[in-house]
C-alpha cells in the first residue's frame, strides 16, 4: 500500500459494524454507551491488557467510541504523598455529584514491584464516593510510565466520556516524577500542597509548579497560620514564573477536604479557566496538540514493542545486556548493533 493510500485509509471513518468483529465487543460497546459499570470496567481492563489480541480489540473499541467522547471537563490533580489527594478528590466528587454531574476518577496508584498491581487502592480511600452510582473510580497501576500516569489512561478517559461522565479527574502518584504526562492529557492541571511545605517550595517551584493552572493548600484547617504562610510563599514563587496563559494568574486557594472548606471555590476556579479557554478556542487547540502528541507516543511505544519482539533482537539481547552491564560495550554502540540486527540500519541506508 502506498503512503498516500495509507493516509487515506487512516482518515476514513470506521463504522461500528466494520470495527467490532465479535458479539462480545458489540456488547461492551453498547454497555459503555448505556453507562453500565460492568461494561465500563471490562473495557478498561481490556485496554490495560498487554496481550496482542486484547490490544487489537481495545483499539477497535476506542476507534468507535471516539465520536461519543470529548464532552467532559478533564482535570488532573497531583501532589506529594500525604497531601490528601484522595480525600480531597472524594470531597470534590461528592460536591460535583450534588450539583448534578457524573464523575469518573482515574486514580493512578504506585505499582507493586512484585505483582505489578496497584498498591494503594483508591476505592478503599474514597469509600463514600465509590458507593455512589453517579461516580466511577478506577485505580490502575502506574507501571513504568513517566510521571506516574498509567500507559492507557488516555484511552480510559475516552471510554468514561463515552459512558456519559462529564467530569473526569486523573489523580497522579505524585512521588517526584515529572507530571508533564498528566498535564498533557487534561484541560486543567491542579497541584495540592501541604501547609507546612516550608523550604520544599524552593525545590519544586521550577518543576511541577510551572505546570499548575490552580494550586490548593490542602489541610488548611490543621494549622491556619501555616496554611496562610504557605499561600503567601507560593504566590511569591508564582510571581517569578512565566504564566502558561498571559491572561490567567495562577490562583492559590486554601482548602480542607475534611471540613469542605474551599472545595466549591476550587471547582469554580477550575471552571472559570476551563470556560475561558473554551470560549476563545484555546481548549480545542490544546486538545488537538494533545492528540497529536498521543499519536507520536503511540508510535514510539509500538516501535519499541516491535523492536523487542524481533527474533534477532531477542536472541542477541541477553548477551548484549551483560556486556553493557560489565562495561565491555558502550550502551550507544550496543544499541546500534541491536538496531542493525533488527534491520533498522538497512532501512535508514535505503532512505538515504
Confidence at residue 128, expressed as pLDDT on a 0 to 100 scale: 92
Among 1-5, 197-201, 322-326, which is the least confidently predicted range? Answer: 1-5
Last residue within a domain, chosen from 230, 250, 280: 280
Structural domain contains residue 235? yes
CATH number at residue 27: 1.20.5.170
Last residue within a domain, chosen from 280, 314, 340: 280
Confidence at residue 269, expressed as pLDDT on a 0 to 100 scale: 98
Q: Are 9 and 117 found together in one domain?
A: no
Q: Are 197 and 101 found together in one domain?
A: yes
CA separation for the pair 291, 29 (Å, rounded) = 22
Q: Are 142 and 51 found together in one domain?
A: no
CA separation for the pair 206, 217 (Å, rounded) = 18
Q: Are 194 and 225 found together in one domain?
A: yes
Q: Which residue has the higher pLDDT, 67 or 150?
A: 67
Last residue within a domain, chosen from 238, 256, 280: 280
CA separation for the pair 102, 169 (Å, rounded) = 11
Mean pLDDT of the chain: 84
Rounded to an integer, the average pLDDT of 41-56 is 91
Structural domain contains residue 285? no
Among 1-10, 72-81, 111-120, which is the least confidently predicted range? Answer: 111-120
Rounded to an integer, the average pLDDT of 52-80 is 93
pLDDT at 6 over 90: no
Q: Are 115 and 20 found together in one domain?
A: no
Confidence at residue 273, expressed as pLDDT on a 0 to 100 scale: 98
Confidence at residue 21, expressed as pLDDT on a 0 to 100 scale: 75
Among 63-72, 172-181, 264-273, 311-320, which is the least confidently predicted range? Answer: 172-181
Q: Are 270 and 317 found together in one domain?
A: no
Residue 333 cell numbers, joined? 554502540
What is the pLDDT confidence band of residue 79, given thresholds at 50, 70 and 90? confident
Confidence at residue 145, expressed as pLDDT on a 0 to 100 scale: 54
The three-state DSSP-derived secondary structure of the chain is: CCHHHHHHHHHCCCCHHHHCCCHHHHHHHHHHHCCCHHHHHHHHHHHHCCCHHHHHHHHHHHHHHHHHCCCCEEEEEEECCCCCHHHHHHHHHHHHHHCCCCEEEEEEECECCCCCCECCCHHHHCHHHHCCCCEEEEEEECCCCHHHCCCCHHHHHHHHHHCCCCEEEEECCCCCCCCHHHHCCCCEEEEEECCCCCCHHHHHCCCHHHCCCEEEECCCCCCHHHHHHHHHHHHHHHHCCCCCCCCCCCCEEECCCCCCCCHHHHHHHHHHHHHHHHHCCHHHHHHHHHHHHHHHHHHHHHHHHHHHHCHHHHHHHHHHHHHHHCCCCCHHHHHHHHHHHCCHHHHHHHHC
pLDDT at 26 over 90: yes
Q: What is the pLDDT of residues 304-346, one digit of tens each?
A: 989 999 999 999 999 999 999 999 999 999 999 999 999 886 5
Q: Find out whether 346 and 316 touch, Cβ atoms under 8 Å.
A: no
**What total of structural domains would you count in the chain?**
3
CATH number at residue 313: 1.10.287
- 311-325 helix and 331-341 helix, angle to the nearest 10 degrees: 170
Q: Are 103 and 157 found together in one domain?
A: yes
Q: What is the pLDDT of residues 83-126, one digit of tens each?
A: 899 999 999 999 999 999 999 999 876 544 344 444 444 555 78
Confidence at residue 149, expressed as pLDDT on a 0 to 100 scale: 61
Rounded to an integer, the average pLDDT of 294-305 is 88
pLDDT at 147 over 90: no
What is the pLDDT confidence band of residue 18, given thresholds at 50, 70 and 90? low
CA separation for the pair 269, 265 (Å, rounded) = 6
CATH number at residue 85: 3.40.50.300
CA separation for the pair 48, 141 (Å, rounded) = 10
Rounded to an integer, the average pLDDT of 253-269 is 95
Q: Are 190 and 274 found together in one domain?
A: yes
Structural domain contains residue 175? yes
pLDDT at 5 over 60: no
Residue 254 cell numbers, joined? 486554601
Q: Are 260 and 172 found together in one domain?
A: yes
Among 51-55, 147-151, 239-243, 269-273, which is the least confidently predicted range? Answer: 147-151
Q: Which domain holds residue 298?
A: 290-351
Rounded to an integer, the average pLDDT of 248-258 is 94
Percent of the chain with pLDDT over 70: 80
Confidence at residue 141, expressed as pLDDT on a 0 to 100 scale: 64
167 forms beta bridges with: 73, 103
Confidence at residue 124, expressed as pLDDT on a 0 to 100 scale: 59
Amino acid at each position: 500500500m502506498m503512503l498516500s493510500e495509507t493516509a487515506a485509509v487512516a482518515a476514513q471513518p470506521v463504522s461500528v459494524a466494520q470495527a467490532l468483529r465479535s458479539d462480545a465487543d458489540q456488547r461492551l460497546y453498547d454497555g459503555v454507551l448505556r453507562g453500565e459499570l460492568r461494561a465500563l470496567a471490562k473495557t478498561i481492563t481490556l485496554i490495560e491488557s498487554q496481550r496482542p489480541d486484547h490490544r487489537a480489540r481495545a483499539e477497535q473499541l476506542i476507534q468507535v467510541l471516539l465520536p461519543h467522547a470529548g464532552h467532559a471537563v478533564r482535570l488532573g490533580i497531583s501532589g506529594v504523598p500525604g497531601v490528601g489527594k484522595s480525600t480531597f478528590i472524594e470531597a470534590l466528587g461528592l460536591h460535583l455529584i450534588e450539583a448534578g454531574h457524573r464523575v469518573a476518577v482515574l486514580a493512578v496508584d504506585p505499582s507493586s514491584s512484585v505483582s505489578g498491581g496497584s498498591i494503594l487502592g483508591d476505592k478503599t480511600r474514597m469509600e463514600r464516593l465509590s458507593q455512589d452510582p453517579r461516580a466511577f473510580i478506577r485505580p490502575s497501576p502506574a507501571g513504568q510510565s513517566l510521571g506516574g500516569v498509567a500507559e492507557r489512561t488516555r484511552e480510559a478517559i475516552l471510554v468514561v466520556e463515552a459512558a456519559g461522565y462529564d467530569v473526569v479527574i486523573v489523580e497522579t502518584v505524585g512521588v517526584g516524577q515529572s507530571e508533564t504526562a498528566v498535564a498533557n492529557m487534561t484541560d486543567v492541571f491542579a497541584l495540592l500542597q501541604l501547609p507546612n511545605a516550608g523550604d520544599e517550595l524552593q525545590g519544586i517551584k521550577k518543576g511541577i509548579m510551572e505546570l499548575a493552572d490552580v494550586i490548593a493548600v490542602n489541610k488548611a484547617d490543621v494549622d491556619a497560620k501555616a496554611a496562610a504562610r504557605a499561600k503567601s510563599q507560593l504566590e511569591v514563587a508564582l510571581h517569578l514564573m512565566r504564566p502558561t496563559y498571559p491572561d490567567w494568574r495562577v490562583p492559590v486557594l486554601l482548602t480542607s477536604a475534611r471540613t469542605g472548606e474551599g472545595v466549591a471555590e476550587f471547582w469554580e476556579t477550575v471552571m472559570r479557566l476551563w470556560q475561558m479557554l473554551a470560549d476563545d478556542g484555546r481548549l480545542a487547540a490544546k486538545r488537538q496538540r494533545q492528540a497529536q502528541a498521543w499519536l507520536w507516543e503511540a508510535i514510539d511505544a509500538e516501535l519499541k514493542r516491535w523492536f523487542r519482539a524481533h527474533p534477532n533482537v531477542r536472541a542477541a539481547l541477553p548477551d548484549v545486556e551483560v556486556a553493557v552491564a560489565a562495561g565491555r560495550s558502550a550502551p550507544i554502540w550496543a544499541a546500534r548493533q541491536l538496531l542493525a540486527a533488527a534491520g533498522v540500519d538497512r532501512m535508514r541506508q535505503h532512505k538515504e
